[in-house]
């Protein structure tokens, strides 16, 4: 990035097909990237000020970089990562720096931002100013990985502005290591937002595609996956991933003999899905039996998640409406409201989908028909002759396409 350049970064959200929550406890999950992305504009400035415009959560602030609590960082170097965890002392100083938060969403977004700036800029002798503005097509806090998508674009933009990675990281000879670095920092930001994330969301947002994921072991490509018709329905019931993940951990601690087998059963669901796609690839299963199996697994997985205490009446309503039309749905992401995913067989005609969407719309829900399995994070240099920081998400997407 040169002083005159500005960069657009974007990263996808994700849909978890199988394995949410269980994946936090070292079980398999199956997830794919979504066509809905978060876009971020970053411009380097010479004034030592960082300006942050997060319109999706209503943040518009700026701070001199000199006011950051650089002295509160412990000298605890872990590779290129100077801050291991956000200790209480540093957290207090950052909360003071932020001033008031209108809600938890702002607090989580700002603390993740501060954490990344402190981590990346602490070792630097000179700290350049910058202007960041983000816009997302993802519903925030609805189970489609908006936090991971935000964490990935933020980590990427800051790694670029502080000269850790080049703008063309994705096509460079070192791309594998650059993607790993982005993913590692994004995971740290997810930890600030989620408390105890598995890492599946940031891995999908960073690398894209359809993956199986095991915490601590990373991900592999979902062999045999080509495409899948899905309907996503947002109940618009607000919930927090952080609180839901903590709730499952409490249930597991209180009833280990009951909850552990449920988590193992969910592991089995994810592995069956993985094997079903492999069988399709090897020609030992046809597309019709694959989709029938996926529908049954969707049903089983939802009921297991219900037993973990993460469903919601609005999600049961979606299951009932789609079920009346022969379609299988499950909650996706952390649950407790948020989104459900419905598998659509090839032979289901658009009229049926329209009817179902109209019924879901009548309940006040939003529906999305979007592609899955697309690319992960990417960045492009753009010409910044005008003030582009406040453009709309549609403008950001259009501009990105132009420079790709
Ligand atoms: N576009 C965004 N801009 C700023 N913060 C965001 C954005 N998207 C997500 N976040 C942060 O992530 C939080 C939502 O994360 P989470 O509860 O995990 O839900 P999700 O399922 O959408 O990932 C928000 O409260 C906010 O702090
Ligand atoms: C519940 C969980 O499995 C997925 C959470 O996804 P989301 O934040 O609700 O999009 C948590 C995790 O994997 O970190
Ligand atoms: Mg999240």
Report the percentage of the chain scoring pLDDT > 70: 95
The domain 5-220+374-403 is placed in CATH, from the list 3.40.640.10, 3.40.605.10, 3.90.180.10, 3.30.230.10, at: 3.30.230.10
User: CB of 323 within 8 A of CB of 345?
Assistant: no
* CA gyration radius, the chain: 21
Q: How far apart are CA 166 and CA 171, in angstroms?
A: 10
Q: Is the pTM for the entire model greater than 0.90?
A: yes
Separation of alpha carbons 74 and 288, rounded Å: 57
Ligand 2 atom closest to 190 (CA): 14
pLDDT of residue 76: 56
| Span of 1-10, 27-36, 393-402 with lowest mean pLDDT | 1-10
Measure the CA–CA gap between 371 and 230, rounded to whole angstroms: 8
Span from the CA of 203 to the centroid of ligand 3 (angstroms): 12
Among 219-233, 278-292, 346-360, 385-399, which stretch is predicted with the lowest mean pLDDT? 385-399
- 312-318 own/partner pairs: CB under 8 Å, 24+ apart: 312/235, 312/237, 312/239, 312/336, 312/337, 314/235, 314/237, 314/363, 314/365, 315/235, 315/340, 317/235, 317/363, 318/233, 318/235, 318/342, 318/360, 318/365
Q: Is the CB of 205 under 6 A from ligand 2?
A: no
- Which numbered ligand comes closest to the C-alpha of 245? 2
Interface ipTM > 0.90: yes
How far does the centroid of ligand 3 lie from the alpha carbon of residue 241, in Å?
Answer: 6
Q: Give the ligand whose atoms come closest to the C-alpha of residue 193.
A: 1
Partner residues linked to 211 by β-bridges: 31, 221
Lowest mean pLDDT among 197-206, 253-262, 296-305, 376-385: 376-385
Higher pLDDT, 115 or 4: 115
Give the model's pLDDT for residue 3: 43
pLDDT of residue 80: 53
Q: How far apart are CA 116 and CA 108, in angstroms?
A: 12
| Residue 82: predicted pLDDT | 56
Determine the pLDDT at residue 99.
87
Average confidence (pLDDT) over 206-227 = 92
**Average pLDDT, integer, range 251-280:** 97
Which ligand has its closest atom nearest to the C-alpha of 31? 2
Q: Which ligand 2 atom minimizes the distance to the CA of 144?
A: 10
Sequence spans of domains, the chain: 5-220+374-403, 227-368
Strand, coil or helix: what is 43? strand
Report how far ligand 1's centroid is from the alpha carbon of 151 (Å).
9
Q: Which residues of 296-328 are buried (b: 16+ CB within 10 A; e: fewer)?
A: ebbbbbbebbbebebbbebbbbbbebbeeeebb
Using alpha carbons, select from 79, 83, 80 the residue that is nearest to residue 69. Answer: 83
Q: Is the CB of 339 under 6 A from ligand 2?
A: no
Could you give the 3-state DSSP secondary structure of residue 29? strand
Among candidate residues 49, 184, 40, the one with its CA nearest the CA of residue 109: 40
Per the prediction, the chain carries an average pLDDT of 92
Least confident among 65-79, 112-126, 178-192:
65-79
Q: Which residue minimizes the CA distance to atom 1 of ligand 2?
A: 334
Query: What is the Å distance from ligand 2's center to 71 Cα?
Result: 34
Is residue 336 over pLDDT 70? yes
pLDDT, average across residues 275-284: 96
**What does the alpha-carbon distance between residue 14 and residue 26 come to, in Å, rounded to a whole number?**
19
147 belongs to the catalytic site: yes
| pLDDT at residue 89 tops 90 | no
Confidence band for 394, pLDDT divided at 50, 70 and 90: confident
CA dihedral sign of residues 27, 144, 211, 78? negative
Q: How many CB atoms lie within 10 A of CB 111?
A: 19
Buried b (16+ CB within 10 A) or exposed e, 249-287: bebbeeeeeebeebbebbbbbbbbbbebbebbeeeebee
pLDDT above 60: residue 77 = no
Ligand 2 pocket: which of 200, 212, 267 to mutate (most atoms <8 Å of CB)? 200
CA 88 to chain centre: 26
Q: If you take atom 5 of ligand 1, which residue's CA is the nearest one? A: 109
> Residue 397: pLDDT above 50?
yes
Q: Is the pLDDT of residue 78 over 60?
A: no
Q: Is the pLDDT of residue 81 over 60?
A: no
Residue 335 C-alpha to ligand 2 middle, in angstroms? 9
pLDDT greater than 70 at residue 2: no
Q: Which residues pair with 54 in a beta bridge?
A: 59, 134
Q: Can you give the pLDDT at residue 398? A: 83
Confidence of residue 404 (pLDDT cuts 50, 70, 90): confident
Q: Choose which residue among 245, 335, 338 to substitute to test ligand 2 binding: the one with the highest number of ligand atoms within 8 A of its C-beta.
A: 245
How far apart are the C-alpha atoms of 43 and 173, rounded to whole Å?
A: 25
Report the half-sphere exposure of 330 (CA within 13 A, side-chain side). 26
Indicate the pLDDT class of residue 67, thresholds 50, 70 and 90.
very high
Indicate whether residue 239 lines ligand 2 (CB < 6 A).
no
Pick the CATH number of 227-368 from 3.30.70.890, 3.40.50.300, 3.40.50.620, 3.30.70.1400: 3.30.70.890
For residues 164-168, give the mean pLDDT: 96
**Atom in ligand 1 nearest the alpha carbon of residue 136:** 1
pLDDT for res 388: 64
At residue 125, does pLDDT exceed 50?
yes
Specify the pairing of strand 210-214 against strand 230-234.
unpaired
Say if residue 180's pLDDT is above 70.
Answer: yes
Pocket of ligand 1, beta carbon within 6 A: 38, 54, 56-57, 105, 108-109, 134, 136, 140-147, 150, 193-194, 240-241, 333
Q: What is the pLDDT of residue 376?
A: 97
Looking at the chain, how many residues does it have?
404
Q: How far is the CA of 337 from the centre of ligand 3 (A)?
A: 13
**Ligand 2, pocket-test mutation among 141, 198, 199, 305, most atoms within 8 A of CB:** 198
Look-up of token digits 């657009």:
8
CB-CB neighbours of 191 under 10 Å: 18
| Distance from C-alpha of 285 to C-alpha of 278, rounded to nearest angstrom | 9
Options 198, 201, 240, 267, the catalytic residue:
201
Atom 10 of ligand 1 has which residue's CA nearest to it? 147
Q: Which range, 218-222, 340-344, 394-398, is most confident? A: 340-344
Distances (CA, A) of 12 to 121, 148, 268: 26, 9, 27
Active-site pick, 6, 119, 146, 147: 147
What's the 73 CA to ligand 3 centre distance in angstroms? 26
Neighbours of 93 (CB within 10 A): 18
């Amino acid at each position: 990035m040169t002083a005159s350049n500005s960069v657009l970064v974007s990263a996808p959200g994700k849909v978890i097909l199988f394995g949410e929550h269980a994946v936090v406890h070292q079980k398999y999950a199956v997830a794919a990237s979504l066509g809905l992305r978060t876009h971020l504009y970053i411009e380097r400035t010479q004034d030592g000020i960082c300006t942050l415009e997060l319109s999706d959560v209503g943040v518009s602030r700026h701070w001199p970089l000199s006011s950051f609590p650089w002295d509160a960082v412990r000298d605890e170097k872990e590779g290129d990562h100077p801050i291991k965890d956000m200790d209480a002392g540093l957290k207090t100083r950052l909360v003071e720096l932020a001033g008031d938060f209108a809600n938890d969403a702002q607090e989580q977004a700002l603390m993740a931002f501060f954490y990344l700036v402190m981590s990346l800029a602490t070792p630097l002798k000179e700290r350049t100013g910058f202007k960041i503005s983000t816009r997302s097509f993802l519903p925030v806090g609805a189970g489609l990985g908006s936090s991971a998508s935000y964490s990935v674009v933020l980590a990427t933009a800051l790694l670029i502005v502080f000269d850790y990675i080049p703008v063309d990281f994705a096509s460079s000879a070192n791309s594998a290591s650059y993607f790993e670095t982005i993913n590692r920092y994004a995971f740290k930001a997810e930890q600030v937002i989620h408390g105890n994330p598995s890492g599946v969301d940031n891995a999908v947002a960073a690398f894209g595609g359809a993956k199986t994921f095991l915490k601590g072991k990373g991900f592999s490509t979902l062999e045999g996956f080509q495409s899948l018709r899905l309907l996503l329905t947002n109940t618009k019931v607000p919930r927090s991933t952080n609180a839901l993940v903590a709730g499952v951990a409490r249930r597991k601690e209180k009833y280990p003999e009951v909850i552990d087998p449920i988590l193992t059963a969910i592991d089995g669901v994810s592995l069956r899905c993985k094997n079903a796609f492999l069988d399709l690839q090897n020609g030992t299963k046809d597309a019709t039996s694959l989709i029938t199996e996926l529908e049954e697994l969707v049903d089983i997985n939802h009921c297991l998640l219900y037993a973990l205490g993460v469903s919601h009446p609005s999600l049961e309503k979606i299951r009932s409406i789609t079920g009346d039309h022969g379609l299988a749905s499950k909650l996706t992401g952390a649950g407790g409201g948020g989104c459900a995913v419905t598998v659509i067989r090839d032979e289901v005609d658009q009229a049926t989908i329209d009817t179902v969407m109209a019924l879901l719309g009548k309940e006040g829900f939003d529906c999305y028909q979007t592609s899955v399995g697309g690319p992960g994070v990417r960045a492009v240099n753009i010409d910044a002759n005008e003030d582009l920081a406040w453009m709309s998400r549609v403008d950001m997407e259009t501009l990105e396409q132009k420079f790709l």
